[in-house]
């Protein structure tokens, strides 16, 4: 697979990464652990070198899973994880905590669970309104100086927050939701990243599965599936948003590709420092996603997608209100 550098940093990764959250978080029922270990190693054999996890996924068990899977190929991969949550007595997240002392404790925990000596890319998972971002950046800077972290990242941060953090410790990458059905980062995040030389890592690049064309208004979700709580996934919203999938389908038919591949190819065509991290647990979907890196969209194709997408008003909020308040955007 082609490689890309995240911004002006020296962090080079595969053009498409793998989001590992769904292997143990948000999308029940979860697959067998051994199956996922084999799956991640298969991803490496297909050229994927960028793996995304977080302490809160599970919580904690996702890092252990990723660490076990990638141990034999550690020298070939880049592992990104995240900090910033507070946990109750039962181990479940109950809020945010990015106090410097907590960041350092979290880093030690992640290093142990992942079984590595250095975290390649360490994101603040969500901006903590109770802690100055300068203090957060300073704490990660110290971890970098100690050799426990290589690169600093932010997730779902505003342009102003990114600038403030970057002034203390250069930010290598920002992770936020970005796809054809969530384009808010184009307003000020992407221009800010381009100006500062920061890479962009879109999560949910396939709209939590909607842009694959594999679901419609009649699709049902398990009550434990995060999509069952998301306004954008009500039957009415899915029916209204089908026009976007139909658009991808038309382009895909012409390109002998799939809607998912067109959605990912569109993201890759936006900037050379954008690295989407679609999450999947199935080998056939992994192969489909990896294939998107070879789909070439011409300037005419991109104009056609842009023009058609501009006529489509996506319906429904991307998160329940409580979660949306945590994004920092």
How crowded is the C-beta side of 17, counted as CA atoms within 13 Å?
29
| Helical pair 159-168 and 133-145, crossing angle rounded to 10 deg | 40
CA 145, CA 66: separation in Å to the nearest integer? 25
CA 8, CA 79: separation in Å to the nearest integer? 19
CB atoms within 10 A of CB 60: 17
Collapse the DSSP code of 150 into the 3-class scheme (helix H, G, I; strand E, B; otherwise coil) and give the result.
strand
CA 284, CA 287: separation in Å to the nearest integer? 5
178 noted as active-site residue:
no
Which residues, 6 or more positions from 75, have their beta carbon under 8 angstroms from its beta carbon?
Answer: none
Query: To which residue do tokens 């039962």 refer?
Result: 90
Do the Cβ atoms of 98 and 326 come closer than 8 Å? no
Hey, what are 103's tokens? Answer: 């960041």
Among 27, 57, 122, 203, which one carries the catalytic annotation? 57
86: enclosing H helix or E strand? strand 85-87
So which residues are the catalytic ones?
57
């Amino acid at each position: 697979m082609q490689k890309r550098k995240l911004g002006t940093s020296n962090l080079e990764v595969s053009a498409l990464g793998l989001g590992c959250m769904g292997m143990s978080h948000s999308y029940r029922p979860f697959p067998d652990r051994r199956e996922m270990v084999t799956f991640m190693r298969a991803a490496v054999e297909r050229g994927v070198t960028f793996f995304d996890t977080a302490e809160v996924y599970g919580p904690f068990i996702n890092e252990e899973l990723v660490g076990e899977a990638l141990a034999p190929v550690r020298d070939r991969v880049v592992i990104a994880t995240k900090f910033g949550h507070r946990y109750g007595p039962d181990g479940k997240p109950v809020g945010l905590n990015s106090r410097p002392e907590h960041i350092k404790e979290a880093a030690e925990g992640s290093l142990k669970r992942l079984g590595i000596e250095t975290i390649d890319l360490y994101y603040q998972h969500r901006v903590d309104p109770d802690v100055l971002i300068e203090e957060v950046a300073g704490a990660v800077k110290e971890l970098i100086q100690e050799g426990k972290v290589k690169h600093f990242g932010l997730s779902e941060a505003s342009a102003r927050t990114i600038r403030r953090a970057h002034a203390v410790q250069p930010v290598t990458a920002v992770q936020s939701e970005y796809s054809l059905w969530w384009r808010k980062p184009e307003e000020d995040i992407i221009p800010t990243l381009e100006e500062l030389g920061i890479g962009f890592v879109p999560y949910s690049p396939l709209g939590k599965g909607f842009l694959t064309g594999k679901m419609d208004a009649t699709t049902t979700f398990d009550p434990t599936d995060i999509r069952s709580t998301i306004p954008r996934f009500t039957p009415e919203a899915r029916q209204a948003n089908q026009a976007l999938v139909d658009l991808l389908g038309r382009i895909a038919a012409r390109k002998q590709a799939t809607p998912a591949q067109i959605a990912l190819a569109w993201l890759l065509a936006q900037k050379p420092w954008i690295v989407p991290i679609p999450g999947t647990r199935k080998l056939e979907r992994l192969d489909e996603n990896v294939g998107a890196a070879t789909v070439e969209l011409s300037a005419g194709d991109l104009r056609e997608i842009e023009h058609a997408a501009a006529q489509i008003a996506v319906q429904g909020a991307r998160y329940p209100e409580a979660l949306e308040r945590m994004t920092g955007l």
